[in-house]
Amino acid sequence: MCGIFACHCHPDVQKFKPTALRMAKAARHRGPDWSGNFVANNTILAHERLSIVGVDSGAQPLVNEDGSLSLAVNGEIYNHRILRKQLKTPYNFKTHSDCEVIIPLYMEHGLDAPKYLDGMFSWVLYDKKADRTIAARDPIGITSFYQGWSSKTPGAVYFASELKCLHPVCDKIKWFPPGHIYDSKTDKMTRYFQPTWWDPTNVPSTPTDYKLIRTSLERSVRKRLMAEVPYGVLLSGGLDSSLVASIAQRETLRLRAASTKVNGYNPDHEQQNGELVGMDDNDELSTVTWLPQLHSFSIGLPNAPDTKAALEVAKFLGTKHHDFSFTIEDGLEALSDVIFHLETYDVTTIRASTPMFLLSRKIKAIGVKMVLSGEGADEIFGGYLYFHAAPDKEAFHAETIRRVKNLHLSDCLRANKSTAAWGLEARVPFLDKQFLENAMSVDPAEKMITKGRIEKCILRKAFDTTDEPETQPYLPDKILWRQKEQFSDGVGYGWIDALKDNAELHVTDEMFKKPKAEWGDDIPDSKEAYWYRTMFDELFPPQCASTVMRWTPTWSNQTDPSGRAIAIHNAKYDEKK
């Protein structure tokens, strides 16, 4: 991940420049490797870089040959080599960065440029000749991105990767909508991402193609191995992260075998740097010389459900596993920092982000800069336990679409900011555009959790090799068919219990009955929620609250969003006893 700050049409950009650089510095944790800026006319772009691809030459903002176009990007473009080959007009690339291809794409396609990108991204491009600023965000909002305005500088528009870069200079802030592009020339936001599944009333009837689900997820993981630095996988021991880890390990072993055959790879000498791993000119994954052993990472309270499962998966796959633990005290002491980096007061997000935040720090200390993670599968396949209560397939499908569209306010926000807090990048294979198209086009009747059918059944079946004796199993059966645990539950049930107990100590009954007037209709429904909101208010001014969405389950009257609070959780575990 990287950090962006930009302002278009500032009345005195030279005078504003020191402030702009200070705002960009507020996101330096996202990009600790280098800082850069570009100023022209009344516009400034500032960038804090985390180098993953084009390490030696990809400093930003990127500028074209005549200096008329400048670009600041946060993210990764997985198909950049293919796009370079497809350009109609030759372009003199200055770097090996995957992001530089956005400049010639804009030159050829204008506002349609984001349609061609396969990746996760938020970017700001300035066209000096037209005095025009273009900003865009990836289809699902995997990378965080905000837009702001100030009554002190009417006509100016601001962009940044995080709220903390904007609120000191903006009195109005909104999250930048995923799948959209902004054009300062018209001051309009246009949705460029228009998949077939976007309309919830268009309920698909296509039967599940299990082979397509499997191969498209494999391809999604494969392209996300694009890196020039050590990488790993977050392994909770649940289905989603375990599948991602399994596929990544298969690719690692396959490429290592190919590299050994060609280059005589020495498995006893694991290097820290090497040639690019990623999609080559034929849209296939390749590496020139070597591939390191795959690292996997887990965290939990002692004897946590997920920790035990993660160890079992790591042993089965043969990854170099790092099993970390944290104490309840560690988590409680980190809460304020978590809310500062997450920029939310949502209960579910804070619960799950705290262990992920602590784990990310440990991962970065090891020297790993990029990890794969399993976010998105529960939204796509209806994996949350409350989906048991879906009344029909139409409602089930509409809820999956709603959840996917809101990922940028929940799980994507968590994955992006928990890791970026320590200069670590998280990539999410389940949110690949093509995989989404395939998975969201399945008849939702086949996703529903009916009698005898577990959550995410079609995903599990896609990777069940019981009837394929020639195929090595992806996971042990007990993991492949393990019941869903929400991450904040799986790290140890004592974690959520401790949060509730501490909220009771910080929020009295009298306080809870008298919410602050400035909260309006957004009233906390528990003391835990009240506690987080007060911590958020201490860190952020009121204009930031409009960017927060609280995660709540549908078809349920519960106030606690924990999966463990749903009756089906205990019922399922009672069945296993």
Name every residue whose Cβ is closer than 8 Å to that of residue 17 and which is 6 or more positions away in sequence.
37, 39, 44
**How many CB atoms are located within 10 Å of the residue 162 CB?**
26
What are the contacts of 205-211 at 24+ separation with CB within 8 A? 205/443, 206/441, 206/442, 206/443, 207/442, 207/443, 207/446, 208/442, 208/443, 208/446, 208/458, 208/461, 208/462, 209/438, 209/442, 210/458, 210/461, 210/462, 211/462
In the chain, how long is the greatest CA-to-CA distance? 71
Q: Could you write out the DSSP letters of every residue in 327-343?
A: -HHHHHHHHHHHHHHH-
Residue 476 token pair: 């042990």
The answer to whether the Cα torsion of 200, 202, 205, 210 is positive or negative is: negative
Q: What is the CA radius of gyration of the chain?
A: 23
Structure tokens at 78: 């997985």
- Backbone φ, ψ for residue 536 (5° rounding): -60, -45
Answer yes or no: are the C-beta atoms of 390 and 446 closer than 8 Å. no
373 is in an annotated binding site: yes
Decide: 486 and 563 in contact? Cβ < 8 Å. yes
Between CA 310 and CA 241 the distance in angstroms is 9
Name 97's Cβ contacts closer than 8 Å, sequence gap at least 6.
Answer: 53, 54, 57, 58, 60, 62
Beta bridge partners of 172: 149
Residues near 243 by Cβ (< 8 Å), separated by ≥ 6? 217, 374, 459, 463, 474, 475
171: nearest Cα among 567, 571, 546, 555: 546
Does 280 belong to an annotated binding site?
no
> Is residue 131 marked as binding?
no
SS3 64: coil
Q: Is 299 annotated as a binding residue?
A: yes
CA distances from 568 to 73, 202, 384, 480, 575 (A): 44, 30, 11, 19, 10
Determine the Cα–Cα distance for residues 542 and 552; give it in Å rounded to an integer: 22
CA 232, CA 327: separation in Å to the nearest integer? 24
Return the closest-CA partner of residue 130 out of 176, 89, 184: 184
- The annotation status of 311 as a binding-site residue, yes or no, is no
Strand-pairing partners, residue 442, are 206
Residue 367 phi/psi, 5° resolution?
Answer: 110, 5
Residues belonging to the active site: 2
CA pair distance 549, 346, nearest whole angstrom: 7
Contacts by 530-533, CB closer than 8 A, 24 or more apart? 530/503, 531/502, 531/503, 531/506, 531/507, 532/335, 532/339, 532/345, 532/346, 532/347, 532/350, 533/345
> Are the C-beta atoms of 499 and 505 separated by less than 8 Å?
no
Task: Extract the tokens encoding 424.
Answer: 């670590």
Annotated binding site for L-glutamine, which residues?
98
Name the binding residues. Answer: 98, 234, 299, 373-374
Binding residues for ATP: 234, 299, 373-374
